[in-house]
Structures are given as structure tokens and as C-alpha cells.
Amino acid sequence: MIRKFAVALLLSCSAAAVAVPLGSQSVLVVEDGTGKVLLEKNATSVVPIASLTKLMTAMVVLDAKLDMDEQISIDRQDVDVLKHSTSRVPVGATLSRGEVLQLALMSSDNRAAASLARTFPGGPAAFKAAVDRKVRALGMAQTRIAEPTGLSPANTSTATDLVKMATAAAAYPDITRMTTDTREVINVKGRSVEYHNTNRLVGAKGWDIGLSKTGYTEEAGRCLIMRIKAAGKNATMVLLNASANSARIMDALNIRRLITGDEGRTTTKRLARSAPASLIKASAGRLKASKVSNGRKKAAPTKKPRRRRAD
């Protein structure tokens, strides 16, 4: 009898994982309010978290109740010398702290995040101490944050801890607003520059997103935190270490289907209603060779590698 019960329990626990194919290496989906776990995969594995870090950076800055209208100049100290990531915020640009926070969250700009720590009262050391206190206060026992951008692989956590961080971040109206803006036009050195959200599901048809943050480094893979509402249900999802942006997007789409109860075969038509066409095309993968009239395959031209932007 006990053996039969154990087998039944095992089957029930693994049913969701079987029904939802996942490309991310660590996944946790929790129903908001009740804390009910809807989906779980390697949720306690400690891994690098890349720019998901910026949610913690934002909370610490907002907790300090700093003047959001105060002008901050981007300094050479803010330039990424670890990963050499690109930035559309030039050295010497002067923006309000609120604009800098927006760029760190919405566009995941690393210089913006670095400048928030540099201009924190007491400097980077005081910022780091405030982060450590916040991590402890949220009960994120498996989390270590070494710097504000997420570029360092020393910034590590688990999907379980990151649900706690996302839940806390969702209580800040500034964070929910900034992370769910699709675009923002900011005056930079006398000219208007348009910045976009790094999560292309934000603003996509059929998606009701209350909080969003992407992340990417080679060590962390593609990461995503979202709080979504679907079929009258509210849930938080954490996706860590997906091999590609398309895999991360497909995981989000499949999780949304799980929440809404649509666990049937996913079709291109269904996906087209849930995300931009460009994402669906990417999720199917790109052919590396094209067919020619004689039936042979022609190798696609290779592209020169480009420096990655923030994610």
C-alpha cells in the first residue's frame, strides 16, 4: 500500500515536468498569494544570475530613499572592463537618478547599474553592505551578490531564492512600472535616445506582465524573472541558464499554457497569439544551410561576432 502511494506521489509530482518541456536548466513557477509550486526543476541549484541582480540593486537604491531627480554623471569607473559589454549610455552623460534606474531595469544597462552603486551614500562599499543586509532580510540564504550589475559570475543564487527576490521587488511601484515599460525616450547629451525593454514579451499581445527582468552572461546563460497574470491566475516564474533566448521564450510560453490549462499540442498559430512573430521564428531555430535548385545545400554566410549588449 505504501509503495503504491509513493509511486502515485512520484507520478503526480513529475506530471507537470513531463507536460511542459523546459530548455532552462533551473525553473520555479509559484502561484502568487498561496505560494503553491506549479512547476519546479533544479530549483535549489546555486548558479550565476547575471542581470537579475539589478532587481536587488534597484530595491537597495529605493530603500535608501534617494532623490530620484538628482543628476548623476556616467563615469569611466562605470564602464564594464570584465565582460566588455556595450552600452548606449556614453561616459559623460548626465541623467537623473530616476532615469538611470529606468535604464538599469528596463534596458539592463550595466553602466547605469554601476553608477547607482558608485553614487550610493558611502560609495560601493556601503552599497554592498546594504545589499547583504537586504539579502539576509529576505531570507535568501543561498544568494551571494558581489557587485550591482550581474556581470560577475560571483553573483549567484537559486530559483527558490529568486522567487523571494521577485516577490519583494513587486512591492515597489517604481520597479514594476520600469520593468514593464516597453520603451522610453531619454535626453542624452542634448539628443533624444529611445531605449527598449530587453524582454520582448513585455507589451506582446496576450501577455499581462507585472514584473520583468532578463539576464545573460556566458556563465549564467539566458535568465528571466516574470510575474504574470493568465486566466485569472497570478504567478511568478524564474528561468535560469537557458541556452538561447528562443529557449527562454519557449519556456515562458509553455509555462503560460500550463497556468491557463492549455496543455495540448502547441501550434504555431497559438504561439503567434502570444508573442511577436520574430520570437516564434527564432524558437523554431535557424537553418544553417539553404536549399538550392539542384537539391544541394548552400552554406549560409558567416557573420562577424558582435559585442553583446546588456540583457
Q: Which residues have a catalytic role annotated?
A: 51, 54, 108
Query: What single letter denotes the amino acid at residue 266?
Result: T
Cβ–Cβ under 8 Å, residues 249 and 275: yes
Cβ–Cβ under 8 Å, residues 199 and 190: no
Cβ–Cβ under 8 Å, residues 223 and 240: yes
The Cα 268–Cα 38 span in angstroms is 25
| Nearby residues of 177 by Cβ (< 8 Å), 6 or more positions away | none
Q: Map grid coordinates 541623467 to a residue.
A: 95
What residues does 290 pair with on adjacent strands? 298
Helix axes 97-106, 110-118, angle to 10 degrees: 140
**Secondary structure, 3-state, 209-244:** EEEEEEEEECCCEEEEEEEEEECCEEEEEEEEEECC
Cβ–Cβ under 8 Å, residues 253 and 266: yes
The Cα 283–Cα 295 span in angstroms is 26
